[in-house]
Amino acid sequence: MPDLVPLSTIAPDRVETLLDAAFGPDRRQRTAYRVRAGLQPIGAMSLALVEDGNLIGSIQCWPVQIDGDDGTAVPMVMVGPVAVTPDRQGQGIGRALMARAIAVAGADAPLMLIGDPAYYGRFGFTAARTGGWRLPGPYEQHRLLAMGAVPAIAGMIAPRMALSV
């Protein structure tokens, strides 16, 4: 049975190898990397699954905010990437990591991500309140998803630098 451990206990090169295997080496070109630039993941919500010494899955969560066009700044948590080794995908590992991160965040926590609506919809993520949100790079609006106490305002998703611990 896999062990759930803080991601901070895993060597960064092992995490990078997992992410490359799950998403390909060009993953760093994705818009999500622009949003997370310069941040450190949120320790309590960034987790790894290790089985027999092998890293088989990870989830990272990041402190972000929406800089509203009205001048407000609303803190949120960006969920992802959720990565599972290719040979273990489809076995519930990603679901388990998502469920744990959501539980750690707490009821009605403002969570957002860029991802597949069909997959993340099972956790309660929707695009219902994200229509006015923008990202600093290319993205498909229907893949900008959120759950919890997120604002339905127009604005840019940006790093929350003051809380990047």
pLDDT tens column, 127-160: 999 999 999 999 999 999 999 999 999 999 999 9
pLDDT tens column, 19-54: 999 998 888 878 898 999 899 999 999 999 999 999
pLDDT of residue 162: 59
Average pLDDT over residues 80-94: 96
CA-wise closest residue to 135 among 50, 34, 40, 60: 34
pLDDT of residue 163: 46
Longest Cα–Cα distance in the chain: 51
Rg (CA), the chain: 15
Among 24-33, 54-63, 76-85, 114-123, whose mean pLDDT is lowest?
24-33
Q: In the chain, how many domains are there?
A: 1
pTM value is: 0.93
Q: Which two tokens stand for residue 19?
A: 């992410």
Task: Judge contact between 80 and 60, C-beta under 8 A.
Answer: yes
pLDDT of residue 28: 80
CA-wise closest residue to 133 among 89, 68, 41, 81: 68
**Residue 7 domain boundaries:** 3-163
- The set of residues, in sequence order, having a beta carbon less than 8 Å from that of 69 and lying 6+ positions away, is 132, 153, 154, 155
Give the span between the Cα atoms of 76 and 112, in whole angstroms: 7
For residue 140, report the phi and psi dihedrals to the nearest 5 degrees: -100, 120
pLDDT of residue 116: 96
69: CATH: 3.40.630.30
Give the span between the Cα atoms of 146 and 150, in whole angstroms: 7
